[in-house]
């Protein structure tokens, strides 16, 4: 069985694949992608951009060819309660002439123009691949712009070839730390920072409403629906909660070291994880009133949500699911949600999962479940066919694969337009799942396409 399943997988990729229930020493993750394997990961620049993009009052200048700006324009479904400057992508549009003679003057001119046109106070400047090659001194140009205009202009040295998407996350976190360092110190506040929620389809607003309900104040949202001024207040918080550990755990550790703020990993996907996260936050703050309110709120909402979801179980029970998402925390929550619905997860993988997250995944997965790190489309197709998956949960890159195989698809990536976090999101998740899996269109798709 194991030999059959591992056939047609590149030899260099075999250590990144395992089967739950079978001994697999040395399962590889957190490594560079295998050359030529057609990884689904994005580049360093894209990793930095997705983290910083939701900051609503910041301007983002992409110092590079226009394609880099186009690729990441409005790339998240992040919503704003105020300004929407972040939905614009500004580019220096470097050409062959700039590659030969340098693009420094072009960048300085772009900063001047944005300040003059929009009265910008906060600017992030991203150095892309070509800038890493020609050696424009982005740091010096940003420093000169700060002195000239009296603004905050932060360089993000993110040439795509300098690592993986995870490297971009780290660079974005360093840029946020740079921004935080600009604020004057103030007294500690009895409140928390929410790290790693990007307000996709308003999910930060849902989480914030739950925290408000149990009496917890949010000091800074990092980075969904955040402002730069808000981020500069983040060092005053009493606790950091980390939703997307892949992108934000580095920032949480740095803030613990620099500002003495403890951190807590959470997940607001599914009834179980939302309830556990709210209770752990309450206990971490050690406030009896918050604990009591959290117990009452989670008990009420869990019961209400379970009743709304119950009718869908009969429509979904016994089906098979494949999961391929960005971070490990999301895959873990999805495994739990599928178990609640009686759906078997037969394939599960992530782009940037950590070793401890894969250990949890293996403990939750049923025997025979295929587990992959940094999978490519060929591997996903192979294992989905072998395991006869009925639905694929993934992102925009996986959607065509699902449809090609005549498999239902649920978008769980940052381009989606429906909220999936919290108790509200748990109901949306099941409704979306039912609409996709039980669509009559699948009865018309037969033959080689179907898995």
Q: Write out pLDDT tens, residues 18-30.
A: 999 886 667 888 8
Of the chain, the end-to-end C-alpha distance in Å amounts to 18
Q: Given this structure, which CATH class describes domain 44-180?
A: alpha beta
According to CATH, the superfamily of the domain at 7-36+317-416 is: Nitrogenase molybdenum iron protein domain (3.40.50.1980)
Q: Which string of DSSP letters, residue by residue, matches 251-284?
A: HHHHHHHHH---EEE---SSHHHHHHHHHHHHHH
pLDDT of residue 224: 95
Q: 450 pLDDT exceeds 60?
A: no
The contacts of residue 205 (CB under 8 Å, 6+ apart) are 79, 81, 199, 225
pLDDT band of residue 415 (cuts 50, 70, 90) is confident
pLDDT of residue 344: 97
Using CA atoms, how far apart are residues 329 and 24, in angstroms rounded to an integer? 21
Q: 339 pLDDT exceeds 90?
A: yes
Neighbour count for residue 264 (Cβ, 10 Å): 17
Least confident of 38-52, 53-67, 297-311: 38-52
Using CA atoms, how far apart are residues 435 and 329, in angstroms rounded to an integer? 25
Q: 2 pLDDT exceeds 50?
A: no
pLDDT of residue 314: 95
Using CA atoms, how far apart are residues 281 and 414, in angstroms rounded to an integer? 25
Domains 44-180 and 192-296 share a fold: yes
pLDDT of residue 443: 82
Averaged pLDDT score across all residues of the chain: 93
Mean pLDDT (whole number) for 242-252 = 94
> What is the value of pTM for the model shown?
0.93
- Percent pLDDT > 90 in the chain is 80
- Tens of pLDDT, residues 164-197: 888 999 999 999 999 999 999 899 999 999 999 9
* CATH entry, 192-296, from 3.40.50.1980, 3.40.91.50, 3.30.70.20, 3.40.50.2300: 3.40.50.1980
pLDDT of residue 451: 62
The contacts of residue 23 (CB under 8 Å, 6+ apart) are none
What are the residue boundaries of the structural domains of the chain, listed by start?
A: 7-36+317-416, 44-180, 192-296
Mean pLDDT (whole number) for 229-240 = 97
């Amino acid at each position: 069985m194991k030999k059959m399943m591992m056939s047609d997988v590149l030899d260099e990729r075999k250590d990144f694949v395992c089967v739950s229930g079978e001994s697999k020493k040395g399962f590889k993750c957190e490594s560079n992608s295998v050359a030529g394997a057609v990884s689904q990961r994005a580049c360093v620049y894209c990793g930095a951009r997705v983290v910083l993009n939701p900051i609503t009052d910041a301007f983002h200048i992409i110092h590079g060819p226009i394609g880099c700006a186009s690729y990441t324009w409005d790339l998240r479904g992040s919503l704003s309660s105020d300004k929407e400057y972040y939905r614009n992508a500004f580019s220096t549009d470097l050409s062959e002439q700039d590659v030969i003679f340098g693009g420094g003057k072009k960048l300085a001119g772009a900063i001047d123009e944005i300040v003059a046109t929009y009265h910008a106070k906060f600017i992030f400047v991203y150095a892309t691949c070509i800038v890493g090659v020609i050696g424009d001194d982005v740091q010096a140009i940003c420093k000169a712009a700060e002195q000239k205009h009296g603004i905050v202009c932060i360089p993000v040295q993110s040439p795509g070839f300098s690592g993986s998407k995870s490297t971009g996350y780290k660079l974005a976190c360093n840029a946020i730390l740079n921004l935080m360092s600009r604020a004057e110190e103030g007294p500690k506040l009895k409140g928390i920072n929410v790290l790693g929620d990007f307000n996709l389809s308003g999910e930060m607003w849902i989480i914030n409403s739950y925290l408000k309900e149990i009496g917890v104040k949010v000091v800074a949202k990092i980075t969904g629906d955040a402002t730069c001024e808000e981020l500069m207040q983040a060092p005053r918080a009493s606790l950091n909660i980390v939703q997307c550990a892949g992108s934000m755990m580095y920032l949480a550790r740095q803030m613990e070291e620099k500002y003495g703020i403890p951190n807590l990993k959470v997940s607001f996907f599914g009834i179980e994880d939302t309830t556990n996260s709210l209770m752990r936050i309450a206990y971490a703050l050690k406030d009896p009133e918050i604990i009591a309110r959290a117990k009452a709120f989670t008990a009420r909402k869990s019961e209400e949500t379970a009743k709304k979801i119950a009718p869908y179980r009969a429509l979904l029970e016994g089906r098979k699911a494949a999961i391929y998402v960005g971070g490990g925390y999301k895959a873990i929550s999805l495994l739990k949600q599928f178990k609640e619905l009686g759906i078997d997860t037969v394939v599960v993988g992530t782009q940037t999962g950590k070793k401890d997250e894969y250990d949890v995944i293996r403990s939750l997965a049923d025997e025979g479940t295929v587990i992959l790190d940094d999978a490519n489309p060929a591997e996903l197709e192979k294992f989905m066919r072998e395991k006869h998956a009925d639905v694929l949960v993934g992102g925009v890159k996986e959607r065509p694969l699902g449809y090609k195989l005549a498999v239902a698809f649920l978008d769980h990536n940052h381009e989606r337009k429906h909220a999936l976090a919290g108790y509200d999101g748990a109901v949306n998740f099941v409704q979306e799942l039912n609409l996709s899996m039980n669509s009559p269109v699948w009865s018309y798709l037969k033959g080689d396409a179907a898995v």
